[in-house]
A and B are shown apart, each in its own frame.
Chain A
Amino acid sequence: MTETINFEVDGDGVALLTIDLKDQSMNVVNEQFTNDLSECIDRVLSDDAIKGAVITSGKSAFMAGADLNMLGSMAGAGAEMSLEDKYEAVSGFSRLLRKMETGGKPAKVLMKEGTKPFAAAINGLALGGGLEVCLACHYRVAADNPKLQLGLPESQVGLLPGAGGTQRFPRLTGLQMAAQSITSGKPLNPQTAMGLGLINMVKAADDVVADATAWVKANSSALQPWDKKGFKYPGGAGAMNPKAVQLFIGANAMAQKQTQHNYPAIEAILSCMYEGGIVNMDTALKIESKYFLKLLLDPTAGNMIRTLFINKQAAEKGALRPKGPEKKKVKRLGMAGAGLMGAGITYVSALAGMDVVLFDISKDNAEKGKDYSRGLVKKGISRGKVTQEKGDALLDRITTTDDYADFADCDLIIEAVFEDAAIKKSVTEKIEAAIGKDVVFASNTSTMPITELARNFTRPEQFIGIHFFSPVDKMPLVEIILGEKTDEATQAVALDYVSQIRKCPIVVNDSRGFYTSRCFGTYVSEGYAMVQEGVKPALIDNVGKMSGMPVGPLAVGDEVAIDLGYKIGMATQKALGDKYIASPADAFVKTMVVDLERFGRKNGKGCYVYPEDGSKKYLWPELSEHFPEAAEQPSADEIKSRLLVRQAIEAARCFEEGVLIDASSGDVGSILGWGFAPWSGGPFSFIDTMGVEAFVVEADRLTQAYGVRFTPPQLLRDMAKNGETFYVAGNTRGKVAA
């Protein structure tokens, strides 16, 4: 009996190791578990009365991967440790699993005698390190549950499966399937896994332990296929196998296309599989551990883990919610405006079980908004994702209306009407007259300051911004904007609602463009500035993607519409007056919108041409006539720096101005909101990784070269001077220490 593993031996000498981490909902690989497993393995191997062992879990899931907090700190910590010591530390678990499958015997002895059998009874989900434990067992049986997930998702956090996953998986299934599965991180269900040879058997959930036990009893000694004499890699492997060679040539290209050279984990996984396929298992595991260490030493993994998992999950679990107010559930949502955004918000709310009153100026319009939900439900049914009953029930929860009186029983109002001050004012006033005196009113505006809109409402403390992203049903982020007078109870209501619809919130203070739109805008306009300066458009958009952004600035500018950018720009100039920071982008946008009437995809012509026959868009060849290309073109690195640093400067300004309350929200919001280079972990992680001082030096250089929009805020200069960073060591949620 250990702290994390229950150890029992039955009358036939079969040990049952039941993994059950105390006070945790999920079994994870952490230091305690590793020590306990080591102790259990030693006992099985050394006790002659024990014939073999079955490993299962005491929880509904078998085991998730490694504890991300532990991995995150491994990634950041130990600068003083030698490389050799680090290697010892990160390879420990892998060596332990190897000991389990070999009994610690040398290859020749093992080949002759075999070792005590270990079998995995996979009663529930087994991911990452959890699945690696199973793969190191000599026999694997999984519960017959199509929802049970078996997979190695480490690549999604910038890592690789470092306990034999990149070696045992392909030695069971062949390289092709393993490469797909491990680089994508997508899990398999038990039937598929058995078909591929990843597991041996599928049984009813209640029978997996009995089946595994019976297998151990029937096999007095066991040997992994790769430890047998004459082992043949299924499908072939190695540098001289034509199929493997073709596979790697293709996979290398595809992976470079997908990663744009920004995600070292994908390359490392392929390297482990390529190099490991040429050598024996012991050497292969060493190679894997070394690539694993290499990834831990690179900042990418640590940054991705911190932002995309630890801080995102914290936000989803209510880290930003004021503790005081009682938790409330929205039962009936009042949705004003049935356009694209209103229709999407309606769907996600109804999906979460809320009744929705969907209002527009005519019942017809409101019905059109509901059609969006009808379409998604229909698609869900046709794909077998939703049952007819559930789909019908969802649609029944949506009531369409053009009568303000129908808002009467709603407990939250969201307004997503046309972005026009007069219309917003009128709608807000009419709704307020119809609703209860304590109902929170939220606006989904993306351009108008919340504090100003709150003036249309007699209870500005109960007025808040809930900013969704399009398409609402796909985009995971919601930006909550606090007006000057918004109170904590209202913030809590908004966050509880976001939690109900299972999206990730960030909370920001009011500002023009709030946080996400404001920073995103700098990406697009920096692209425009470059065109105006004579940089080749293809160079700009290709480097945009190479920097890790999902699309180039010119392409994405076409999607959101250049004329919209023009209108927002004009409004911003008017509002800011002398404080407005001019950019060459202003002239570009004016030429495109006023002189050339190129508004973007919406009118079929922007920086790109959108052929009417639906064929692929291409850059407008005449751009170079209106914006002559310079004889000398900047390097890709220079463009990359301009695009990323410009966004990071704006994020830092948001932080300095108090628009952003914490850096971790800034990072989470940047990636989920506008797709800021995920490899970086977000703009604040980007600045930290570069080093605040180095960032300031680069920003000053860019200021000299391109203008004051690159001038770093005083905050960064002070941080550089004091040697501060946005994140303190480890994974503490970041705030500037001051």
Chain B
Amino acid sequence: MTEAYIYDAVRTPRGKGRADGSLHEITPIQLATQTLEALRHRNDLDTSYVDDVILGCVTPVGEQGADIARVAAINANYAETTAGFQINRFCASGLEATNIAAAKVMSGEADMAIGGGVEGMSRIPMGSDGGAWPTDPSVAFHSYFVPQGISADLIATKYGISRDDADAYAVESHRRAKASWDAHHFDNSVIPIKDVVGMTALAHDETIRPETSMQTLGALKPSFLDMGAFGFDNVATQRYPEIEKINHIHHAGNSSGIVDGAAGILIGSKEMGEKLGLKPRAKFRSMASIGSEPTIMLTGPSFAAEKALKKAGMSKKDIDVWELNEAFASVVLRFMQVLDIDHSDINVNGGAIAMGHPLGATGAMILGIALDELERSGKETALATLCIGAGMGTATIIERV
């Protein structure tokens, strides 16, 4: 089978996903367009050799609807022959899009492809696309649907993760993100986003709060307490009846931030890279997706990681850099429990608690950050994974070349 190589990885800065966020004036199609433009520009890319653009987008309605990937390729003046399609694997969409691009290269269907994602969360609110799972009574009853926040609190309760554990984790995420920016770890990969006249709208991740402390977080009210009391706690304990009472530990400060952003990863075969004069940075070792119990929902990453390790013929000791999306603090803390990973080995540059989680794009962003970290630290292997709505996990292992 053909090997798939990463030639480049870029991401936009993440703008606060509200009306006062710096990217609120920028359309999602622009975020995607400028990402594709950056990949072309940085690599002096003849886009007629790019077979496909695959973008994750979790709320593909309105201005994000109707195959935003193909429209972004057109808008970025890619060659007419570059196809494009949008996928949705909820929070792992960006990584899944990357995996699909790699798989296309591996299978020989494509020689060069782009995987990535985009989400303008300030403009298209989460959930705008509806969906049967929470809404259709026959489905919600059948599957014991609870919102993700309840699932995150359920994980904390079931596995003995306290509010202090989660808050301490969040404080460290902000500290690491700030330190990484200060040390220029992200400079090579973050592309400033321009407005219509070409002024920079945003060049840095916008939601990092280095002043975050146990005291500032301690003042925040649990986000999912009322929702739980309304009925969802009971739905969760019907599925997990060994639990007396859900401990609501998550709040706005130890959960991922709502932001706008996009990311793209250029993937191709060795031959095509050589033909275009590109230098490979890493190769794909393995990729995996799994389904897990949907009510607790967010325990998928460990299963996905184990599956990817097995496929690669590796053990967890073979992984140098771990990236797990910080959807909620408990998700990462539980993952660290299961795989016995020290905090110093995971999310070393901070994560979505500090910098935000643009749903469709995050997967590609954390893979790019892992790649930068490998190069910076001179290490070899990285595993990136994300928890996913409806109980799934996706993981990718890359190796520097």
Map CB proximity to A onto B224-250 as digits: 1 under 8 Å, 0 otherwise. Answer: 000000111011011001111100000
- For the complex formed, measure the closest distance between the CB of A168 and the CB atoms of chain B, giving whole angstroms: 19
* B140 at interface, CB cutoff 8 A: yes
Contacts A245-B130, A248-B137; A256 near B241 (Cβ below 8 A): no
* B135 at interface, CB cutoff 8 A: yes
Interface residues of A in 264-295 (CB under 8 A from B): 267, 270-271, 274-275
> How many Å lie between the Cα of A538 and that of B147 in the bound state?
23
> How many Å lie between the Cα of A260 and that of B239 in the bound state?
11
State whether A543 touches B241 (Cβ < 8 A). Answer: yes
State whether A249 touches B134 (Cβ < 8 A). Answer: yes
Please classify how large the interface on chain B is, using the bins under 10, 10 to 19, 20 to 34, 35 or more.
Answer: 20 to 34
> How many Å lie between the Cα of A258 and that of B230 in the bound state?
11
* A614 at interface, CB cutoff 8 A: no
- For the complex formed, measure the closest distance between the CB of B231 and the CB atoms of chain A, giving whole angstroms: 3
Select one of A248, A249, A254, A256 contacting B144, CB under 8 A. A256
In the complex, what residues of A have CB within 8 A of residue B215's CB? none
> How many Å lie between the Cα of A261 and that of B140 in the bound state?
11
In the complex, what residues of B have CB within 8 A of residue A542's CB? 237-238, 241-244
Contacts A239-B136, A271-B136, A274-B137; A253 near B230 (Cβ below 8 A): yes
> How many Å lie between the Cα of A401 and that of B312 in the bound state?
89
> How many Å lie between the Cα of A201 and that of B44 in the bound state?
75
* B138 at interface, CB cutoff 8 A: yes
In the complex, what residues of B have CB within 8 A of residue A274's CB? 135-137
State whether B141 touches A252 (Cβ < 8 A). Answer: yes
Select one of A261, A271, A618 contacting B238, CB under 8 A. A261
- For the complex formed, measure the closest distance between the CB of A222 and the CB atoms of chain B, giving whole angstroms: 33
In the complex, what residues of A have CB within 8 A of residue B242's CB? 536, 538-539, 542, 633
Best-surrounded residue of B137, B138, B235, B238 (most CB of chain A within 10 A): B137
State whether A546 touches B136 (Cβ < 8 A). Answer: no
- For the complex formed, measure the closest distance between the CB of A206 and the CB atoms of chain B, giving whole angstroms: 43
State whether B230 touches A538 (Cβ < 8 A). Answer: no
Contacts A538-B242, A543-B241, A636-B241; A253 near B231 (Cβ below 8 A): yes
> How many Å lie between the Cα of A392 and that of B170 in the bound state?
65
* B1 at interface, CB cutoff 8 A: no
In the complex, what residues of B have CB within 8 A of residue A541's CB? 244
* B361 at interface, CB cutoff 8 A: no
- CB-based nearest A residue for B140: A252
* B183 at interface, CB cutoff 8 A: no
> How many Å lie between the Cα of A708 and that of B290 in the bound state?
45
- CB-based nearest A residue for B136: A274
State whether B136 touches A619 (Cβ < 8 A). Answer: no
Select one of A239, A267, A536, A539 contacting B135, CB under 8 A. A239
In the complex, what residues of A have CB within 8 A of residue B132's CB? 239
Best-surrounded residue of B130, B132, B145 (most CB of chain A within 10 A): B130
Map CB proximity to B onto A227-251 as digits: 1 under 8 Å, 0 otherwise. Answer: 0000000000001100001001111
In the complex, what residues of A have CB within 8 A of residue B230's CB? 250, 253-254
> How many Å lie between the Cα of A250 and that of B242 in the bound state?
24
State whether A249 touches B135 (Cβ < 8 A). Answer: yes
* A22 at interface, CB cutoff 8 A: no
- For the complex formed, measure the closest distance between the CB of A637 and the CB atoms of chain B, giving whole angstroms: 11
- For the complex formed, measure the closest distance between the CB of A609 and the CB atoms of chain B, giving whole angstroms: 12
Map CB proximity to A onto B108-141 as digits: 1 under 8 Å, 0 otherwise. Answer: 0000000000000000000100111011111011
Contacts A239-B132, A546-B241, A618-B245; A267 near B141 (Cβ below 8 A): yes
Map CB proximity to B onto A543-556 as digits: 1 under 8 Å, 0 otherwise. Answer: 10010000000000
- CB-based nearest B residue for A540: B241
Select one of A240, A256, A536, A546 contacting B231, CB under 8 A. A256
State whether B241 touches A240 (Cβ < 8 A). Answer: no
State whether B238 touches A256 (Cβ < 8 A). Answer: yes
Best-surrounded residue of B127, B132, B241 (most CB of chain A within 10 A): B241
- For the complex formed, measure the closest distance between the CB of B200 and the CB atoms of chain A, giving whole angstroms: 34
Select one of B137, B146, B147, B235 contacting A271, CB under 8 A. B137
Select one of A239, A249, A256, A537 contacting B234, CB under 8 A. A256
Interface residues of B in 67-125 (CB under 8 A from A): none
State whether A245 touches B238 (Cβ < 8 A). Answer: no
In the complex, what residues of A have CB within 8 A of residue B243's CB? 538, 542
Interface residues of A in 540-578 (CB under 8 A from B): 541-543, 546
State whether A256 touches B136 (Cβ < 8 A). Answer: no
> How many Å lie between the Cα of A541 and that of B243 in the bound state?
10
Interface residues of A in 603-662 (CB under 8 A from B): 618-619, 633, 636
- CB-based nearest B residue for A640: B241
* A721 at interface, CB cutoff 8 A: no
> How many Å lie between the Cα of A48 and that of B145 in the bound state?
55
- For the complex formed, measure the closest distance between the CB of A309 and the CB atoms of chain B, giving whole angstroms: 25
* A257 at interface, CB cutoff 8 A: yes
State whether B241 touches A538 (Cβ < 8 A). Answer: yes
> How many Å lie between the Cα of A538 and that of B136 in the bound state?
30
- For the complex formed, measure the closest distance between the CB of B154 and the CB atoms of chain A, giving whole angstroms: 14
In the complex, what residues of B have CB within 8 A of residue A251's CB? 137
- CB-based nearest B residue for A241: B130
- For the complex formed, measure the closest distance between the CB of B137 and the CB atoms of chain A, giving whole angstroms: 4
- For the complex formed, measure the closest distance between the CB of B158 and the CB atoms of chain A, giving whole angstroms: 11
> How many Å lie between the Cα of A537 and that of B242 in the bound state?
8
State whether B235 touches A253 (Cβ < 8 A). Answer: yes
- For the complex formed, measure the closest distance between the CB of B73 and the CB atoms of chain A, giving whole angstroms: 28
In the complex, what residues of A have CB within 8 A of residue B127's CB? 245
> How many Å lie between the Cα of A542 and that of B146 in the bound state?
18
State whether A267 touches B134 (Cβ < 8 A). Answer: no
- For the complex formed, measure the closest distance between the CB of B246 and the CB atoms of chain A, giving whole angstroms: 11
Select one of A245, A261, A270 contacting B137, CB under 8 A. A270
State whether A538 touches B244 (Cβ < 8 A). Answer: yes
- For the complex formed, measure the closest distance between the CB of B139 and the CB atoms of chain A, giving whole angstroms: 9
- For the complex formed, measure the closest distance between the CB of B286 and the CB atoms of chain A, giving whole angstroms: 34
- CB-based nearest B residue for A259: B141
> How many Å lie between the Cα of A271 and that of B140 in the bound state?
10
- CB-based nearest A residue for B141: A267
- For the complex formed, measure the closest distance between the CB of A40 and the CB atoms of chain B, giving whole angstroms: 36
> How many Å lie between the Cα of A239 and that of B232 in the bound state?
20
In the complex, what residues of B have CB within 8 A of residue A543's CB? 241
13 contacts between A and B (CB under 8 A): A248-B135, A248-B137, A249-B135, A252-B135, A252-B137, A253-B232, A253-B234, A274-B135, A537-B244, A542-B238, A542-B242, A543-B241, A633-B242
Starting from the known contacts A248-B134, A618-B245, 6 additional A-B residue pairs (CB-CB under 8 Å) come to: A253-B145, A255-B141, A257-B231, A270-B137, A271-B136, A542-B243
B: which residues have CB within 8 A of A?
A: 127, 130-132, 134-138, 140-141, 144-147, 230-232, 234-235, 237-238, 241-245
A: which residues have CB within 8 A of B?
A: 239-240, 245, 248-258, 260-261, 267, 270-271, 274-275, 536-539, 541-543, 546, 618-619, 633, 636
